[in-house]
């Protein structure tokens, strides 16, 4: 896990990383999400949030030192970290972005569409955990950069070739 300090205003969240913060001046950034999904969770009442950058739907039962790399292990880890820091599950607001089909190959029948598999698994895991998605910007075939303000839950998304937008 990336550690946040008050001296930093922006933390880059790379593949398989997550970060949690209460710092009002903090912004987490997941650059160039293609098929990866950025999961942003926030308890606005106490002003804490976290972001995870997942790359694949599941770990296929293989033990890993990077559980946040996978939706099935990373999402529960992010939620539990927020709860350990005082967040309440019933107040968590969740927003997701990413999951593009970056290998849109003719005749591939979706077998290479990791993005939609990531989104599908993300939605399943969140549902299984009893968390609802407040908003999302997923799919398509263009990469995105996500900006998450953990103390407020604000999420901005810049999709390649489009204006910055809020979800």
Domain boundaries, the chain: 10-162
CA atoms of 79 and 52, how far apart (whole Å):
10
Per-residue pLDDT at 127: 98
Beta strands in the chain (DSSP E): 10-12, 18-21, 27-33, 37-43, 48-54, 93-98, 133-138, 144-149, 154-159, 164-166
> Over the chain, what is the mean pLDDT?
91
Say what percent of the chain tops pLDDT 70.
90
Asked about 36 being catalytic, the answer comes back as yes
Per-residue pLDDT at 59: 82
Q: What is the sign of the dihedral through the CA atoms of 103, 167, 7 and 51?
A: negative
Q: Are 43 and 87 in contact (CB under 8 A)?
A: yes
Catalytic residue chosen out of the listed positions 36, 40, 42, 142: 36
CATH architecture of 10-162: 2-Layer Sandwich (3.30)
pTM over 0.85? The answer is yes
Q: Closest by alpha carbon to 88, among 122, 126, 45, 120?
A: 45
CA atoms of 25 and 72, how far apart (whole Å):
30
Q: How would you list the strands of the sheet with 133-138, edge to edge?
A: 18-21, 48-54, 37-43, 93-98, 133-138
The string of pLDDT tens digits covering residues 1-37 is 544 444 558 999 999 999 999 999 999 999 999 999 9
């Amino acid at each position: 896990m990336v550690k946040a300090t008050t001296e930093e205003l922006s933390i880059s969240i790379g593949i398989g990383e997550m970060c949690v913060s209460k710092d009002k001046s903090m912004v987490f950034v997941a650059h160039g999400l293609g098929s990866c999904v950025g999961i942003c969770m926030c308890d606005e009442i106490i002003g804490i949030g976290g972001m995870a950058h997942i790359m694949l739907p599941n770990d296929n039962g293989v033990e890993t030192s990077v559980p946040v790399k996978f939706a099935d292990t990373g999402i529960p880890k992010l939620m539990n970290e927020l709860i350990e820091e005082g967040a309440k599950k019933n107040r968590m607001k969740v927003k997701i972005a990413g999951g593009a089909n970056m290998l849109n190959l003719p005749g591939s029948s979706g077998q290479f569409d990791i993005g939609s598999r990531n989104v599908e698994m993300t939605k399943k895991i969140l549902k299984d955990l009893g968390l609802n998605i407040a908003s999302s910007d997923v799919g398509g075939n263009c990469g995105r950069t996500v900006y998450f303000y953990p103390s407020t839950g604000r999420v901005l998304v810049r999709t390649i070739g489009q204006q910055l937008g809020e979800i």
